[in-house]
Structure 1
Amino acid sequence: MAVDSPSLVPLLFFARVSGLAVAMLVLLWALAFNSSFLIPNSSSQEYLIYEVLHPLFMVIGFILISGEAILVHRWLPGSRNFKKSVHLCLQGVALASGLFGIWTRFQGEDGIVANFYSLHSWMGLICVSLFGAQWLIGFLSFWHRGEARTVRLKVLPWHVFVGLYTYGLAVVTAETGLLEKLTFLQTKRNLSRYCPESMIVNSLGLGLALLCGIVILAAVSPKHQTLQTKFMYPDAKCLSS
């Protein structure tokens, strides 16, 4: 017989706790220290709004929601098709958030090209593009089920791998963005390394790293563990327990 693995319960719990902590930290940073998102010699309120929306949509909308979509198959009751539909919808919301988060970078006063010069920006474009392709393949596969079962079984491991890789890449991209922003603030605006804002940004980075590990571990952990109810004896007789 098969039973639910008890190891998933604490993993799912800590995933929600760490996700909540990440959401609170990014909200605190974006709302309480929004003056840090203004570029020098600029007082445009519209630009400030776009700058604040970028981390909110990329962290809460893109990373946290896509992580929740990954965990859907671990805890959501119901049929497999129902879980797949919820997974697809949540990933669609995450994709829309990621696209909007990148769109906010297009609204800078220096134009589009000026906002795509760093490792963070390049990784962000690659990550969202890969995520979009992954979602489109999943969408077509979900609505078009005429493929042979053997083909679907061969594609599934790659779908899982690319999905987890993209999620990890999204977290790494966010980490590079936090490092880039904090370095800019400390060198250009003389922000202290031990001030509250620095502590919040560093804590946010640690929270994202912890969340990524928990989500991936929960995703690859076996959902069920098999219990052997029959024992083989030397005389080749089987006795049921």
Structure 2
Amino acid sequence: MPSGIARLRSKENRREQRRGEEMGGLPGVRALPFTFASHVLAAAAAAMVLVWNIHFRGGLAFESTNKNLIFNVHPVLMTIGFIIMGSEAIMSYKAFPWSHEVRKVVHLVLHAIALVLGAVGIYCAFKFHNESGIANLYSLHSWVGLGTICLYGIQWIFGFVTFFFPGAAPTLRRDALPWHVFFGLFVYILALASAELGFLEKLTFLQSTGLAKYGSEAFLVNFTALVVILLGVSVVISAIAPAHIEDPHSYTAISEN
């Protein structure tokens, strides 16, 4: 009896995996090249945001008399923790050659890490504002960012309860999966939008206080923002493109008949 239940559960997991891979779909486009491109872009974005905040902005600190060092933790954690870890979590179903159950756990854990690091990053922004006597939540970036991380948390809890533990009934999981994928990509795009607003806001503030508009730091921030956009595009395509292309007119299809 237990073995029969295990077989049914394994069959349902395979169906869930196929549904996840088939949703959306881009005819003639495979996910793998975009997944590789996303890894490269993620590494570039991480390196660029670290160079910006350590080399140009003076470093990182959770406690310092120089309050700017506290703020510097914010863009680093939001980019590397929230955006990049979130990107890897989305691509985990296409990037790793493991079983569906293992990839589900990796997906869940990476999103949890992204959520925690994003929350710490937001805390650092509030800490910087409070210790510097600056008002909180006055900009569109802060509104979108706070709303995004709240939606991210709701999405994670829903995914955990529905697809992991205790797990919903198979019919409910089947009906919920398209909405889970759609809402996840929506929240991810909101996170990208919030990051872009953050780069723009910080660079505009720095330029208003004397930073050269055509200096190396300004170019670095702008290029970092562009790399994050390209990363987001690659991740979304890799998420909705099928893992494999099935071409009924190919020689492989003929040989299998």
Normalised to the residue count of structure 1, the TM-score between the two structures is 0.85
Residues 195 and 148 (structure 1 numbering): CA distance in 2 closer, same or farther, change over 3 Å? same
Residues 1:26 and 2:46 are matched in the alignment: no
Give aligned-pair identity as a percent.
40
Please, which of 57, 60, 77 is the counterpart of residue 80 of structure 2? 60
Residues 1:177 and 2:203 are matched in the alignment: no
What are the superposed Cα offsets for residues 174-208 of structure 1, whole Å, 9 maximum, x if unpaired?
10011111111112x22221100000000011001
Aligned pairs (5 A) from 1:1-241: 7-35=30-58, 44-45=65-66, 47-108=67-128, 110=130, 114-141=135-162, 142-145=164-167, 147-187=168-208, 189-228=209-248, 241=257
**Contact 1:63–1:170, Cα closer than 8 Å, also in 2:** yes
SS in 1 for 2:202: helix
SS in 2 for 1:103: helix
1:24: how far off?
A: 0.9
**Contact 1:29–1:201, Cα closer than 8 Å, also in 2:** yes
In structure 1, distance between residues paired with 2:219 and 2:68: 22
**Contact 2:83–2:114, Cα closer than 8 Å, also in 1:** yes
Aligned-residue CA RMSD (Å): 2.4
Runs of 4+ in 1 over 6 A off after TM superposition: none
1:213: how far off?
A: 0.2
1:79: how far off?
A: 1.8
Aligned to 1:40: none
What are the superposed Cα offsets for residues 56-110 of structure 1, whole Å, 9 maximum, x if unpaired?
1100011000100000000212221111111000000000001100111221254
User: Would you say how many aligned residue pairs link Structure 1 and Structure 2?
Assistant: 221
Amino acid at match of 2:240: V
Gaps (5+ residues) in structure 2? 1-17, 19-27, 250-254
Q: Which has the higher helix share?
A: 2
1:7: how far off?
A: 2.8
**Contact 1:73–1:83, Cα closer than 8 Å, also in 2:** yes
Q: Which has the higher strand share?
A: 1
**Contact 1:26–1:56, Cα closer than 8 Å, also in 2:** yes
In structure 2, distance between residues paired with 1:116 and 1:61: 21
In structure 2, distance between residues paired with 1:70 and 1:110: 34
SS in 1 for 2:183: helix
